[in-house]
Chains A and B, each alone.
Chain A
Amino acid sequence: MKYEAVIGLEVHAQMLTDTKIFCGCSTRFGSEPNTQTCPVCIGMPGVLPVLNKKALEFSIRTGLATNCSIASYSRFARKNYFYPDLPKGYQISQYEHPICEHGYIEVVADGNVKKIGITRIHMEEDAGKNIHEGGGNYSFVDLNRTGVPLMEIVSEPDIRTPGEAVEYMKKLRAILRYLGVCDGNMEQGSLRCDANVSVRPGGQKEYGTRAEIKNINSFKFVEKAIEYEIKRQIKVIEDGGQVIQETRLWDPNKGITEAMRSKEEAHDYRYFPDPDLVPLTVEESVINEIRSGLPELPDAKRKRFAADFGLPEYDAELLTSEKAVSEWFEEAVHAGGQPKAVSNWIMGELMRLLNEENISIEKCLLKPGQLAEMLLLIDRGTISTKIAKTVFTGMCKTGKDAQVIVKEKGLVQVSDISAIEKVVDEIIAKHPDEAARFKAGEEKLLGFFVGQAMKATKGKANPQILNDLLKKKLS
């Protein structure tokens, strides 16, 4: 039987505020344990939490960027449970009245644009960190992260494949980074993802029983964990069993999901409105002000790049997935680079070199204007495209201008016909058999002669002139 998966994602995004959501403690990552806490965030009696204005703004920004409606009335609730990383015994979250609802984002999957609904975005505080390693019969608790502002972004169960889930995560991350509300670092945990996964026989309307998969902390694992879970559930059903509603943990080492030993029977969080925090009524004027400050977002930019620069959809999507890359591209084009050529160099050589050196585009020594200059050298015939790769690598590694590298390494293209003619004559003389075969109609041997000539000129012969000359001499 054919099955269809139904997937919804719950994404937690740490907001890039300087201080915690309800107190003035720093949110800095990687500080000495338990040095960024105060009576408010560690839940001392008699304290009063007050909402960080920036956390509210960031949430509204995100809501607007994901086509949500912003609630005119919103409030905080207490989610009650016991765990050592939760000093108050409850998490301040939002329940009945989240700040944003009913949005969507667009993802490109299998060449089609698909809308994935956003059910809600709500604000909440992060918990502390438990450390289990090396403690024997003990665990250790660091409360620095307690109270760091989070947005929980809940999608509709609109996702059907692991690939779509990855595209959704990537698009969401791109939007959050464009907005400057979250750094999107999955390894450090500032962007985390839980997946609700169920399967149903093709054509069936009702959803199957879902499992919640936790601990997915990279794009690769989003795909792998969901893929595994879908297969697991199908097997359970085909073996005559039933999928149980449960929380499962993704184990990246084993590549499987495992049922968590239920630490509590059915969750009973006893949500109720937090009496320490007053409700929020966001005025239309405030929403409009935040809306007017939104940057151009990935989708709009993608469409503009395709329309204004005549780029293929694929190029436009890739170039706009990171704000810094899109800006680099535009700068190179404004400096005179032909858009498609600039795009090719960014997506090919530049990405390869950045990956190799594991640096971001901002840290790259090569500046956009320098790429434009190099492209000009190619257009003028000063260097060949082949030689340009050597020049480009040199520029990235040293930050020097293309012309400087061309001069230093003596890479100027040879376009002097008589010089190339001399080489061509020598090669034909050296390979009479091949020349005869070519003349007899074995045309693919042209490549052989081009190769020999390039070798002799260290790749500097102008390919167009070389080709013309070879054809002329060999006919």
Chain B
Amino acid sequence: MKISIEHLARLARLSVTEEEKTLFANQIDGILNYVDKLNELDTVNVEPTSHVILLSNVVREDLQGDSLDREDALMNAPDRTDKFYRVPKIIE
């Protein structure tokens, strides 16, 4: 097994059952093995690609545009008050 499903699930805030753990582990292993084929290629002289479009230095001027009305911004929130998004208490 190449990857810890438990770790992955925790990072993604997902709960998985024991059966699902086995199921996903096998599936993800399969995917990774498939992608592993790329390692057969010699890429010593190939620059790593971080972007597929050959563009650089796209910038905007520091000019103010429109912001959303608060109502529109909060509209899709699962929970809210008049002015805020509301979330379960964050304890540190």
B89 in the interface, Cβ–Cβ < 8 Å?
yes
A139 near B90: Cβ-Cβ < 8 Å: yes
A51 near B74: Cβ-Cβ < 8 Å: no
B70 near A34: Cβ-Cβ < 8 Å: yes
Chain B positions within 8 Å of A42 at CB level: 68, 73
B85 near A278: Cβ-Cβ < 8 Å: no
B92 near A261: Cβ-Cβ < 8 Å: yes
B50 near A279: Cβ-Cβ < 8 Å: yes
Q: How far is the CA of A23 from the CA of B68 in the complex (A)?
A: 12
Q: Looking across the interface, which residue of chain B has its beta carbon closest to that of A129?
A: B84
A19 near B65: Cβ-Cβ < 8 Å: yes
Chain B positions within 8 Å of A273 at CB level: 50-51
Chain A positions within 8 Å of B90 at CB level: 83-84, 130, 132, 139
A18 near B62: Cβ-Cβ < 8 Å: yes
What's the least CB distance linking B71 to chain A, in Å? 10
Chain A interface residue bracket vs B:
35 or more
What's the least CB distance linking B9 to chain A, in Å? 12
A249 near B67: Cβ-Cβ < 8 Å: no
B59 near A52: Cβ-Cβ < 8 Å: yes
B65 near A24: Cβ-Cβ < 8 Å: yes
Q: How far is the CA of A39 from the CA of B66 in the complex (A)?
A: 10
Complex interface bits, B29-59 against A, C-beta within 8 A gives 1, otherwise 0: 0000000000000000000001101011111
B64 near A33: Cβ-Cβ < 8 Å: no
A39 near B50: Cβ-Cβ < 8 Å: no
| Given contact pairs A34-B83, A142-B84, A278-B55, A19 touches B89 in the complex (Cβ within 8 A) | no
Q: Which residues of A contact B (CB under 8 A)?
A: 17-19, 23-26, 32-39, 42, 50-56, 75, 80, 82-84, 130-132, 135-143, 249, 260-261, 263-265, 268, 270, 273, 275, 277-282
List 4 tightest A-B contacts by C-beta distance, closest first.
A24-B65, A273-B50, A140-B84, A54-B62
